[in-house]
Amino acid sequence: MASGAVFNLSHSSLLKILQGDITEWSVDASSDAIVSPANKLMLGGGGVDGAIHRAAGPQLREACSEVPEVRPGVRCPTGEARITPGFNLHASHVIHTVGPVYDSDVNPRESLTSSYRNILRVAKENNIKYIAFPAISCGVNGYPFDEAAVIGISTIKEFANDFKEVHFVLSADDIYNVWVNKANEMLEKA
């Protein structure tokens, strides 16, 4: 994974923007998690969610199937988050969220902010200190990269004191460049 760009979130925490495959992400700590942008049933989908399920192994699907449905066909509503173990991943946990579909969500900005906030709340409740995000909703869900980067970085900033390191692991060149540019505008370089 490329070393990327590093910023200060607070005096004791860092934001790192890395280019690579989030399924290969590992840190030298057990209090860690990666984020999976799932669908509402949480049983695996395409994109990064599919890659995370393949890398974690079938136990991840089994653990997801045990998450109670809040209504038929919905384990995780849009903007919420659920946690499971990471199984065969290097990361010890997966935090699943359902990000907004940009063209059909009534308030995509609010839903994406809510996804980030609920992920960080669940992570904090589980004593996670290192967490890696992909670009939630920036694939098939069609969210504009600039706005998604600003929402992601500013919401993470609200939780700066609760984590040691927050990473974005971005596979696409164009998304990586947008994230680094926005972080340069919003944060101080470490």
| Contact assessment for residue 70 and residue 77, using Cβ atoms and an 8 Å cutoff | yes
| Contact assessment for residue 12 and residue 164, using Cβ atoms and an 8 Å cutoff | yes
Q: Taking the CA of residue 181 as centre, how many other CA atoms within 13 Å lie in the half-sphere pointing to its CB?
A: 10
Query: Closest CB to ligand AR6 among 17 and 123?
Result: 17
Which among 21, 28, 32, 49 is annotated as catalytic? 49
- Binding map of ligand AR6 across residues 7-26, x = CB under 6 A, - = no contact: --------------xxx---
Query: Closest CB to ligand AR6 among 145 and 163?
Result: 145
Among 155, 171, 177, 181, binds ligand AR6 (CB under 6 A): 171
Q: Please, what is the Cα angle at 179 between 15 and 42, to 5 degrees?
A: 80
| Contact assessment for residue 146 and residue 106, using Cβ atoms and an 8 Å cutoff | no
Q: Which residues of 21-47 are buried (b: 16+ CB within 10 A; e: fewer)?
A: ebbebebeeebbbbbbbbbbbbbbbeb
Q: Reply yes or no on whether 32 is catalytic.
A: no
Query: Closest CB to ligand AR6 among 15 and 162?
Result: 15
Part of the chain binding ligand AR6 (CB under 6 A), chosen from 5-13, 122-130, 165-173, 181-189 = 165-173
Query: Closest CB to ligand AR6 among 22 and 162?
Result: 22
Q: Does position 85 bind ligand AR6 by CB under 6 A?
A: no
Residues near ligand AR6 (CB under 6 A): 21-23, 37-39, 45-49, 51, 99, 134-141, 169-172, 175
